[in-house]
Structure 1
Amino acid sequence: MELDLSITNLSGEISASIGNLQSLQTLDLSNCEFSGSIPTSISNLKSLQTLDLSYCQFSGSIPTSICNLTNLQDLRFYDNLFTGTIPFGLYTLASLVSLDLSLNKLTGHIGEFQFDSLEYIDLSMNELHGSIPSSIFKLANLEFLHLYSNNLSGVLETGNFGKLRNLTSLDLSNNMLSLITSANSNSILPNIESLDLSNNKISGIWTWNIGKNSLYYLNLSYNSISGFETLPWKNIGILDLHSNLLQGPLPTPPNSTFFFSVSHNKLSGEISSLICKASSMGILDLSNNNLSGMLPHCNAIRNLDFKDNQLEGPVPRSLIICRKLEVLDLGNNKINDTFPHWLGTLPELQVLVLRSNSFHGHIGHSKIKSPFMSLRIIDLAHNDFEAIDLSSNKFQGEIPKSIGNLNSLRGLNLSHNNLAGHIPSSFGNLKLLESLDLSSNKLIGRIPQELTSLTFLEVLNLSQNHLTGFIPRGNQFDTFGNDSYNENSGLCGFPLSKKCIIDETPESSKEADAEFDGGFDWKITLMGYGCGLIIGLSLGCLIFLIGKPKWLTTMVEGNILKKITRSKKGTCRRGARRK
């Protein structure tokens, strides 16, 4: 007999009369709005085999009376508000196969399990503390063990895992565990597919050659691992080693690797050309190390992140064959090159970061028909570009004031767009600027007095906007004629014939810019540089962001996560992991 009220709008507390349904074998109240405590009368359901109260708002302690359900095989209480300790009787239920109490507020120690019937244990995202009980390592039928995001501590000995030969998924991340590796070959976990020990206290050289033939997902990030004897995994797809203390040359991942991250380590030396030759490689993150030499020649890759290293030379032209490239981040290196216009032929490129290098020359209209058609983020800050010409497009939105941090700029042309808002007073910081063309937009407000400090300015065109107020005087502004200000009916003063009245006298434009100080994106529909481009000039850079890039949402959250977990829950968790 089964009672399934899941995924309904039922709410309130469960009546004690539920205990009268003594023939029930399955009770499923998951994905509802039930709240309050579980009635003790539930212990009358002696025939119950499956009890699912997940995704509700139950609170209080888990009643010890549940431990009287001697036929119970599957207990799912995840994503509620239960508090207190785990009832001791749950550790003694000989029939129990699956136990999921994750995403609650349970405290205390994990007790010792008395029977080895369990195949599935998930106690993650609680407030449990102490060590992992030794009885867990004797559960020979266990396939799934998740204890992540608790306060567990102690030392794990790899030799203790020898009996868990059926284990496919092990997640102990976000705890305070350390690891001692045993030479015992019985600890290899021959069926393990997913192992996550990230954010613990694991240190030293990694020597645990677990799951050589079966492991697909390995996350050891946020530890203090200093190196690896070898990377022996033949079928690894995701290998995340970032934020450790890895030193020496860059390790080469197995050919099966799709995702490889060693960012935020202390790796040095040149990047081997072999690293991009892995036939499955899609996402490669080598950022925040001390790697040097030339950029490697890569192909058939989706995401390259080499930022914050010591890489030199030009951008390799071989990238032009990476037709699926979506993210290229070369920021904060020593690359010396002109702007790589040829990257505009890549149909999937969404993110291009070149900031803090030695790029130079001009950025302007490309000879490529419809270049950068998918581009969503471009960051060119802190280089030596001399001119930017993005005229005759369909840009819309305000001009961020931080464009004034592009100190090497000699020419800026944003004319014939749909830009609105004020002219940033920070343009006064462009001390080398010789030409400024903002004509044929929808700019409003006053012309910033700060622009008079641009003593190299030879060409100024602010015509065909909606500017108002007094035209600044002094330095180069005394040399510009009427043509610089045509079709701005609200402007007055020299060189125009329209005189200013007293309330149109000049004032600082800082207040006008203040409303934009909070930061924003410059939203653009850019014809010729990619439809839908959004640019925000932040900290002196051209950068925009409209959400997660496609490579992240489709590849990581889709294909990858399907292979990480073999959950029996049947529905997605509402909660997010604490990192």
Structure 2
Amino acid sequence: MLEVLNLGNNQIHDTFPLWLGALSQLRVLILRSNQFHGPIILPQINQSFPMLQIIDLSSNSFMGGLPSNMFENWKAMIDEDKSQSFLHRTLYGPREPQYYQDTVTVMIKGLDRELTKILSIFTIVDVSNNYFQGDIPKSIGILKSLHLLNMLHNSFTGQIPTSLENLAMLESLDLSQNNISGEIPWQLTKLTFLSVLNLSQNHLVGSIPQSKQFLTFTNESFQENPRLCRPPLSKKCKDAEGSPSSAQSERKYDWELMWIGFGVGYGAGVGMLFWTLALWRKGRREFYIFVDGMLALIFTSMAFSK
């Protein structure tokens, strides 16, 4: 019946305790600031942590990639309708808000916060300050009830998955201090509850989306991405040398010029030939003699080859 397990700020030296996933009522798991290490390896059929709503693995030495099936059984974070209906009852119904009577410290919006009573609809995934690498799993987009996602200070690569657009309840997203590349997906503008965003210190390129929530974020959300442009950064996109968008445009322009030149040259050649045959009688006669000679040579060669 265990619902809250807080082992944070100890000196536990171990790999990820996968067997805790058998606790069918576990909702809060805090392993932050220990000496946990190694990769997180889950079985192909994952049935772990079905009721989990807060998981904090921050400030350890976990490594490797996040398993793509890690989130598939976290039903309490997946069931958006359940969370919204409970929130509606909490705000408008006759019942008092439901809390877990416990105290944990988690990182919220860049700062360590102590939650003296944990609201039962609050959901957090914090894997910051580890050595995770590889792509951010697209499957994280199924956690439709997730409120806070913190992946700060790892070694994630690849692009920001567009599946994050499905995290409709997300309020805080921190992907800073990684090796993420590519452009910022415009789909992130659909996150209307997003109030804190940090994408700084990556390798992002191209234009910052200029709509909805993105207009409220400051320079600090995007700094130290040298090839990123548009407000709130001072760099204009035409100054972002070598960005994929500009390079792609230049290549497209070069191909267009090549085809235009080919078309003009072909048209000019056909036109010159037409006017030569139409207006120059002697040239037309010589051309016909040349064509007849070539055809005779071809047919003669075909005959001897048989």
Residue number in structure 2 paired with 1:117 = 76
Residue number in structure 2 paired with 1:73 = 27
For residues 341-490 of structure 1, what are the structure 2 equivalents within 5 Å? none
Give the residue type in structure 1 aligned to 2:200: S
Instruction: Quote how far apart the aligned CAs of 1:147 are.
Output: 0.7
- 2:144 and 2:168 in contact (8 A); partners too: yes
Instruction: Quote how far apart the aligned CAs of 1:125 are.
Output: 0.6
Instruction: Quote how far apart the aligned CAs of 1:108 are.
Output: 1.5
Unpaired stretches in structure 2, ≥5 consecutive residues: 78-122, 242-306
Task: Work out the CA distance in 2 between the residues paired with 1:56 and 1:83.
Answer: 14
Higher relative contact order (CA 8 A, sep 6+): 2
Task: Work out the CA distance in 2 between the residues paired with 1:174 and 1:103.
Answer: 14
- Given candidates 158, 162, 165, the residue that maps to 2:165 is 162
Task: Work out the CA distance in 1 between the residues paired with 2:131 and 2:191.
Answer: 28
- 1:195 and 1:218 in contact (8 A); partners too: no
Instruction: Quote how far apart the aligned CAs of 1:224 are.
Output: 2.0
Task: Work out the CA distance in 2 between the residues paired with 1:102 and 1:91.
Answer: 23
Give the residue type in structure 1 aligned to 2:27: Q
Q: Deviations over 1:212-241 (max 9, x none)?
A: 57657852111123421x55xxxxxxxxx5
- Given candidates 138, 143, 150, the residue that maps to 1:139 is 143
- 1:194 and 1:218 in contact (8 A); partners too: no
- Given candidates 48, 60, 64, the residue that maps to 1:92 is 48
- Given candidates 50, 59, 74, the residue that maps to 1:103 is 59
Task: Work out the CA distance in 2 between the residues paired with 1:165 and 1:217.
Answer: 24
Instruction: Quote how far apart the aligned CAs of 1:210 are.
Output: 5.3
- Report the identity percentage: 26
Q: State the SS of the aligned residue for 2:19.
A: helix
Runs of 4+ in 1 over 4 A off after TM superposition: 181-184, 212-218
Task: Work out the CA distance in 2 between the residues paired with 1:216 and 1:226.
Answer: 14
Give the residue type in structure 2 aligned to 1:197: L
- 2:139 and 2:163 in contact (8 A); partners too: no
TM-score, normalization by structure 2: 0.55
Instruction: Quote how far apart the aligned CAs of 1:160 are.
Output: 2.5
Aligned CA RMSD, in angstroms, stands at 3.0
Q: CA 1:161/1:167 → structure 2, altered by over 3 Å: closer, same or farther? A: same
Is 1:206 the counterpart of 2:208? The answer is yes
Instruction: Quote how far apart the aligned CAs of 1:165 are.
Output: 1.6
- 1:152 and 1:175 in contact (8 A); partners too: yes
Is 1:59 the counterpart of 2:17? The answer is no
Residue number in structure 2 paired with 1:308 = none
Number of matched pairs: 191
Residue number in structure 2 paired with 1:321 = none
- 2:129 and 2:153 in contact (8 A); partners too: yes
Is 1:173 the counterpart of 2:176? The answer is yes
- 2:160 and 2:185 in contact (8 A); partners too: no
Task: Work out the CA distance in 1 between the residues paired with 2:212 and 2:39.
Answer: 33
Residue number in structure 1 paired with 2:36 = 82
In proportion to residue count, which structure has more strand? 1
Give the residue type in structure 1 aligned to 2:124: Y
Unpaired stretches in structure 1, ≥5 consecutive residues: 1-46, 232-240, 250-264, 267-579
Q: Deviations over 1:112-142 (max 9, x none)?
A: 2113423210001111111111111121101
Q: CA 1:151/1:76 → structure 2, altered by over 3 Å: closer, same or farther? A: same
